[in-house]
């Protein structure tokens, strides 16, 4: 039997697509192309994942794991001789435990599905990002996703308590821990969080939940210089007493993009300021939280930190504010965008952005540049748009302009999306040779045959 037939005997006739059917599927939400692979297997449980990996390992067939395909670094790309392992049918929320404040889920559950499910118990899963309706929790763990509220709740790594993983040879490693504190030996789940499917396939997760906030206060703020932006972050974090949940910065060009036609958003404040911030606070007492938020905003204005602001008066206002920040799709209209996801110290951001704006033109010619991101945790998104016909030719020069300066202040070429194929040539900027060597040792120990997601990361 060939590969497709064999896999069908293992997990079912309808669970495996052949190369032709696989080629009809999109390669991702940001991609114009379709998938390619020898076969696409869609298991429904850990045991089926194990059987697929065991056979592929024994027959030296490479496997690429896919979640919601919302990544930006080609981490889920497969070749025509490889098998895609899609967790799309592993979408069961197995348990929500309000007393322990945990959720047990299969890896294919979408972020939004869990968010909505726990709301019924007045709980919250705090990870949040624009692709919440498509991104899967297994993929979030495999890439250590961050998103909009890292400044308060941390990365995906901080929300995973337990995990079930299938290793390259089909061995099931089940560590479905529900405890916040558990220092009994090595915390093995940390090996797989952020490993991008190169060390094992995450199949199930135990996730930490939080009490659902009762109140939400937001403002869209205009600032006249970057020093005030950084000072405003400290001011709000201090004044809000631990309830600051998001601090999203936008440079002027991005704000104008998402608040001008053909974008559907309208500007809540003037488009004439060099910097903007979406600031959010989540709390438990509507009257007191609103008073504290308004007092913090008023004192920021009186001290000259901010020059203008629109303060939310309703949930509809909050939704509209977030819709502006999430309207990243506007960068895809009128050209071909390079989308970057970097981290750097806040003190270096203005210099970095100014240098990028000044030197990008001489380096590549005609282009558009937009900068925005999760400034509260040091993460910026840089989008450089060029003419479609120039995309491939200009890519090396654009990447060099964006990544090279990060080495000077120990920045990261990847804040949230991982390395995949796209950032592999630049990993040395953020990791030294000893770190890279240890990564290779771990890969060789857990996947000596190189079956899992070969060629990714390094």
- Regarding whether 175 and 112 lie in a shared domain, the answer is yes
Three-state DSSP class for 360? helix
pLDDT score recorded for residue 370: 98
- Regarding whether 150 and 133 lie in a shared domain, the answer is yes
Retrieve residue 80's tokens: 């025509």
* Residues present in the chain in total: 458
pTM above 0.85, yes or no: yes
- Regarding whether 33 and 137 lie in a shared domain, the answer is no
> Kind and range of the H or E element at 311?
strand 308-311
pLDDT score recorded for residue 72: 82
For residue 402, which of 387, 382, 416 has the smallest C-alpha distance?
Answer: 382
Phi, psi (deg, nearest 5) at residue 227: -60, -40
Cα distance between residue 196 and residue 13, in whole Å: 28
pLDDT class for 360, splitting at 50, 70, 90?
A: very high
pLDDT score recorded for residue 32: 82
CB atoms under 10 Å from CB of 59, counted, come to 10
Q: Measured over all CA atoms, what is the biggest interatomic distance in the chain, rounded to whole angstroms?
A: 76
Residues in CB range of 1: below 8 A, 6 or more apart: 9
What's the CATH code of the domain at 229? 3.30.70.2190
Angle in degrees, 0-180, between the axes of helices 226-239 and 346-364, rounded to the nearest 10? 150
Q: Is residue 449 situated within a structural domain?
A: no
The mean pLDDT value for 309-314 works out to: 97
pLDDT score recorded for residue 458: 87
How far, in Å, are 119, 231, 356, 359 from residue 353 at the CA level? 39, 18, 5, 10
- Regarding whether 63 and 143 lie in a shared domain, the answer is no
- Regarding whether 207 and 219 lie in a shared domain, the answer is no
Chain segment 374-402, per-residue pLDDT in tens:
998 999 999 999 999 999 999 999 999 99
- Regarding whether 309 and 249 lie in a shared domain, the answer is yes
Residues in CB range of 44: below 8 A, 6 or more apart: 11, 15, 89, 90
Cα distance between residue 148 and residue 111, in whole Å: 13
- Regarding whether 283 and 265 lie in a shared domain, the answer is yes
What's the CATH code of the domain at 375? 3.30.70.2740
Q: Is residue 347 situated within a structural domain?
A: yes
97 beta partners: 102
Domain boundary, last residue among 185, 211, 237? 211
Q: Could you tell me the residue range of the domain that residue 272 belongs to?
A: 215-328
What's the CATH code of the domain at 14? 3.30.43.10
Domain boundary, last residue among 86, 107, 138? 86
Q: Is residue 259 situated within a structural domain?
A: yes
pLDDT score recorded for residue 189: 97
pLDDT at 1 over 80: no
Strands (E), 176-335: 201-208, 210-211, 215-223, 244-251, 275-283, 308-311
CB atoms under 10 Å from CB of 382, counted, come to 23
Three-state DSSP class for 87? coil
Chain segment 232-287, per-residue pLDDT in tens:
999 999 999 999 999 999 999 999 999 999 999 999 999 999 999 999 999 999 99
pLDDT score recorded for residue 7: 97
- Regarding whether 104 and 153 lie in a shared domain, the answer is yes
Q: Looking at the 3D structure of the chain, how many domains does it have?
A: 4
- Regarding whether 342 and 415 lie in a shared domain, the answer is yes
What are the percentages of helix, strand and coil residues in the chain, rounded to 5? Answer: 40, 25, 40
The mean pLDDT value for 222-232 works out to: 97
pLDDT class for 29, splitting at 50, 70, 90?
A: confident
Domain boundary, last residue among 297, 328, 359? 328
pLDDT at 372 over 90: yes
């Amino acid at each position: 039997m060939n590969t497709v037939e064999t896999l069908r005997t293992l997990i079912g006739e309808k669970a495996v697509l052949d190369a032709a059917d696989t080629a009809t599927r999109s390669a991702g939400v940001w991609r114009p192309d379709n998938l390619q692979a020898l076969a696409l297997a869609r298991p429904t449980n850990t045991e089926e994942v194990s059987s697929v990996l065991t056979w592929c390992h024994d027959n030296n067939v490479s496997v690429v794991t896919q979640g919601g395909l919302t990544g930006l670094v080609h981490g889920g790309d497969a070749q025509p001789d490889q098998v895609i392992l899609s967790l799309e049918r592993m979408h069961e929320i197995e348990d929500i435990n309000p007393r322990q404040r945990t959720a047990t889920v299969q890896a294919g559950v979408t972020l939004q599905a869990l968010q909505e499910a726990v709301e019924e118990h007045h709980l919250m899963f705090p990870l949040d990002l624009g692709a919440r309706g498509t991104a899967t929790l297994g993929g979030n763990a495999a890439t250590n996703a961050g998103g909009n509220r890292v400044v308060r709740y941390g990365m995906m790594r901080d929300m995973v308590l337990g995990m079930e993983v299938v290793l390259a040879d089909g061995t099931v490693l089940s560590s479905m821990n529900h405890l916040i504190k558990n220092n009994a030996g090595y915390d093995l789940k940390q090996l797989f969080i952020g490993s991008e499917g190169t060390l094992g396939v995450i199949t199930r997760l135990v996730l930490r939940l939080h009490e659902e906030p009762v109140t939400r206060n937001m403002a869209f703020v205009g600032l006249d210089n970057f020093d005030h932006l950084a000072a405003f972050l400290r001011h709000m974090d201090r004044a809000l007493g631990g309830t600051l949940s998001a601090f999203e910065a936008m440079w002027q060009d991005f704000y104008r993009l998402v608040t001008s036609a053909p974008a559907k958003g309208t500007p809540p404040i003037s488009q004439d300021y060099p910097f903007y911030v979406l600031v959010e606070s989540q709390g438990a007492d509507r009257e007191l939280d609103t008073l504290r938020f308004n007092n913090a905003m008023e004192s920021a204005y009186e001290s000259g930190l901010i020059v203008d602001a629109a303060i939310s008066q309703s949930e509809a206002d909050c939704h509209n504010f977030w819709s502006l920040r999430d309207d990243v799709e506007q960068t895809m209209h009128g050209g071909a965008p390079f989308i970057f996801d970097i981290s750097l110290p806040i003190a270096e951001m203005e210099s970095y952005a100014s240098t990028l704006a000044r030197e990008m033109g001489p380096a590549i010619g005609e282009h558009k540049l937009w900068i925005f991101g999760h400034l509260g945790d040091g993460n910026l998104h840089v989008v450089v748009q060029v003419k479609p016909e120039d995309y491939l030719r200009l890519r090396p020069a654009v990447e060099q302009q964006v990544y090279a300066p990060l080495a000077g202040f120990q920045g990261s070429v990847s804040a949230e999306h991982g390395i995949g194929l796209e950032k592999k040539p630049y990993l040395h900027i953020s990791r030294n040779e000893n770190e890279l060597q240890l990564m290779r040792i771990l890969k060789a120990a857990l996947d000596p045959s190189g079956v899992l997601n070969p060629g990714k990361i390094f």
